[in-house]
Amino acid sequence: LQETLVQEGLGGAKQNREPVFFTIGSIDSFERKLQTLRDSLDLGDDVPPVTYTREGGFFSIFMSFAPTLLLIGFFALVMRNAAGGGASGGIFGITNSRAKKYTELNRVKITFKDVAGMAEAKQEVMEFVSFLRNPSRFTDLGAKIPKGAILLGPPGTGKTLLAKAVAGECKVPFYSISGSDFMEMFVGVGPARVRDLFSKARENRPCIVYIDEIDAIGKPRGKGGFFGGNDERENTLNQLLIELDGFNVLSDVVVLASTNVGVDNLDKALMRPGRFDRQIMVDLPNIQEREEIFHVHLRPVKMAHDSASFIAKKLAQQTPGFSGADIANVCNEGALIAARRDAKEVTLVDFEAAVDRVIGGLEKKTRVLRPEEKRVVAFHEAGHAITSWFLQHCHPLVKVSIIPRGSAALGYAQYLPSEKKIRTVDELMDTICMALGGRAAERLTFNHLSTGAQDDLQRVTRMAYAQVTKYGFSEKLLNLAFPEQGNSSEGLTRRLYSDSTALVVD
């Protein structure tokens, strides 16, 4: 800079000289150097004029605008998700129904052939498919297509499986949703989703709507909830009642629902005819139905071809009270046990070991009992076995085991209980004697008692009180029943009898 100023000479600003170009970094630094030279050369105001021009490449220009572009992109992404463009539907799509639609393109592969047992329930559900496939067969006679049915029963009995079979068999659109999908933290979302679901159903009628675990929104109104939490569920239920049977008639749309709770735990307005015309009970299978279910779940299991029918019949006898889910678990556990011992086929021994695991729990190989403890457990279980063997009304004995299983059981005796619905006084008394046979064996053999009879004593106490307070078997309180009222799980029980009657009961 100094050399240039000397070459230009004084008065450069007054002469028409060719401009000289410099590349500088900082303008402030250049100004300071220029002022220093001006003072050292004593130029005063006679300094050539300086013009600044900013030049740069595309990358430097882009980097200067990068923060602004990133901020704009972030807000655009947020607004896109809020408008429903994201995977969750966004805040503006929160009122959309979460129901999954099944058509011919994504039809469920399960059919009624895959549903074994529960013949009556299957027949009832199959009628709904017939209603929608050929409605004129019924309407020509003046009949109306039922609006809906609710499947009731214990867990694992096949209610959802029946719904899947309906989805696989019907030739009309099928909507599936859970009762909890209607509920959200925002007020008004539940009723809006109900409206959206049935709006889609009307657009695609005839169709079937299936609501799983309807008790999430179908419990009686006016019970539970604080600070508006209960109002949202009740508003959702009110909207569902209107959609099922309100001014806007729901025609050619069949509504199926399922729940594990009883009818008493659902709102009466929901269960009345016109909304759910039919209540289909899906109960635990009997011995014939269990054999059919075993045949279904034994199909993929590799075993001798001539043994499949024998194993299914044998296991059906050994598994009273098992649900369809329990039976499927037994078949799978049997195959796993056979695989652990590197067997080529699954045998009856593997399935019997699976039944033991399902009933008694996992075998505790790490739980080591002392010899005296093993002896007490052995005599205790033998006492149960001998007592049940000689008593007339006890269930047939199948097996006695002193192998520790589960979290607390040090041994168990397996019986084949009958599937009778009615029991007599003699049968109950023999059951009580059988339960106390283990403690009697300990007293006779060791002349002392142990804590191993805790579960037996609890069961005996419940059965003894039930004979007096529920079944009216006592001569002093004959033909009277005093069931406890209230929620026993929370301790909110109250007696329907006086203290003097309680003394008689005791």
Residues tagged active-site: 381
Please list, in sequence order, all residues whose beta carbon lies within 8 angstroms of the beta carbon of residue 276, skipping any fewer than 6 positions away: 147, 148, 149, 150, 244, 255, 257, 270
Q: Could you tell me which of 271, 318, 264 has the C-alpha nearest to residue 291?
A: 318
CB 442 within 8 A of CB 448: yes
Report residue 368 as tokens: 């080591």
Question: How far is the C-alpha of 329 from the C-alpha of 335, rounded, in Å?
Answer: 10
Phi (first) and psi of residue 448, to 5 degrees: -155, 170
Question: How far is the C-alpha of 401 from the C-alpha of 382, rounded, in Å?
Answer: 9
Please count the other Cβ atoms lying within 10 Å of the Cβ belonging to residue 179.
23
Question: How far is the C-alpha of 61 from the C-alpha of 59, rounded, in Å?
Answer: 5
Q: Could you tell me which of 113, 117, 109 has the C-alpha nearest to residue 324?
A: 117
The one-letter amino acid at 305 = H
Where are the strands (E) in 327-450, listed by range? 397-401, 412-415
The one-letter amino acid at 436 = L
CB 4 within 8 A of CB 20: yes
Report residue 39 as tokens: 């003072």
Taking phi over 0 as left and psi of -120 to 50 as alpha, with beta for the rest, 36 belongs to alpha
